[in-house]
């Protein structure tokens, strides 16, 4: 899979792309990431990429021309713009992106990008959540990591992907490892019992209880505890 990142700060990605399983996926050739800096497509000695908003107001807007020069040749790839006004990123967004051959991630900066870029050169707008960051670079690195771990061969044991939080709309159950007794706090006896039926039943119950308690919004209407605040 190839991911093209449009950013005025390509150096931001040096460490997230260099370490851990993402670094290995790139070294192994399972994932290719390339960068396009709008400044390299800007005019004038100052290589200006932003300008004051029409109509006045605070901040600066990313000018359309440098972005269009990058994004027009990338037509045919799935072009994603990061903005707090986009649809919230979820596991199903990542599942969908991981199926693509070539994804383009556009990191907005300043007050955002000229809307004509979003209208004509972007296929989907995505937000990391209901808060405002300085730019889309953090979101792009989240997407790269979330997608990389879904690519074949990147995660050693693929069943860990199947059972994790947000698949089946349930949070993951709590996990324990040695020692069984840590400072007097004991791991649940059932997990040490060797009884796989009971263990599976316990895990399923934990997933449901945790989700009902912490994220009732993930459950269907009839599974939600009364008074959870979700309508």
We find the least distance from the C-beta atom of residue 186 to ligand ADE, in angstroms, to be: 41
Q: What does the DSSP assignment read for 173-208?
A: PP---S-SEETTEEPPGGGGS--HHHHHHHHHHHHH
Site string for ligand ADE, 139-178 (x = CB under 6 A): x---------------------------------------
- Residue 129 in contact with ligand ADE, rule: CB under 6 A: yes
The region of 20-28, 124-132, 154-162, 200-208 touching ligand ADE under the rule CB under 6 A is: 124-132
Task: Tell me if 117 sits within 8 A of 64, measured CB to CB.
Answer: yes
Residues paired with residue 187 on neighbouring β-strands, in sequence order = none
Per-residue binding letters, 75-104, with ligand ADE (x by CB under 6 A): -------xxx--------------------
Q: What is the DSSP string of 33-50?
A: EEEE-GGGG--TTTT--E
Closer residue to ligand ADE in complex, CB, 64/108? 108
DSSP, collapsed to helix, strand or coil, labels residue 124 as strand
Please choose, out of 1-9, 121-129, 181-189, 214-222, the segment that lies near ligand ADE by the rule CB under 6 A: 121-129
Which H helix or E strand runs over 5? strand 2-6
Per DSSP, the residues of 57-84 read -SS-EE-HHHHHHHHSTTBTBEEEEEEE
- What part of residues 4-63 is at the interface with ligand ADE (CB under 6 A)? none
Q: Which is nearer to ligand ADE, 100 or 133 (CB)?
A: 133
């Amino acid at each position: 899979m190839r991911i093209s990142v449009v950013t005025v700060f390509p150096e931001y990605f040096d460490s997230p792309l260099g370490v851990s399983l993402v670094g290995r996926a790139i070294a192994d050739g399972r994932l290719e990431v390339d960068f396009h800096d709008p400044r390299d497509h800007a005019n004038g000695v100052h290589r200006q990429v932003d300008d004051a908003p029409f109509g006045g107001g605070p901040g600066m807007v990313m000018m359309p021309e440098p972005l269009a020069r990058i994004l027009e040749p990338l037509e045919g790839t799935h072009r994603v713009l990061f903005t707090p006004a986009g649809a919230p990123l979820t596991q199903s967004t990542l599942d969908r992106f991981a199926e693509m051959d070539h994804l383009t991630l556009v990191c907005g900066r300043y007050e955002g990008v000229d809307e004509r870029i979003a209208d004509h050169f972007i296929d989907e707008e995505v937000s990391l959540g209901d808060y405002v960051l300085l730019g889309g670079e953090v979101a792009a690195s989240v997407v790269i990591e979330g997608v990389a771990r879904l690519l074949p061969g990147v995660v050693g044991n693929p069943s860990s992907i199947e059972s994790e939080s947000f698949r089946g709309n349930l949070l993951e159950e709590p996990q324990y490892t040695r020692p069984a007794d840590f400072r007097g706090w004991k791991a649940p006896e059932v997990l040490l019992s060797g009884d796989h039926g009971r263990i599976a039943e316990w895990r399923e119950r934990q997933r449901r209880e945790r989700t009902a308690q912490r994220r009732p919004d993930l459950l269907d209407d009839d599974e939600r505890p009364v008074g959870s605040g979700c309508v």
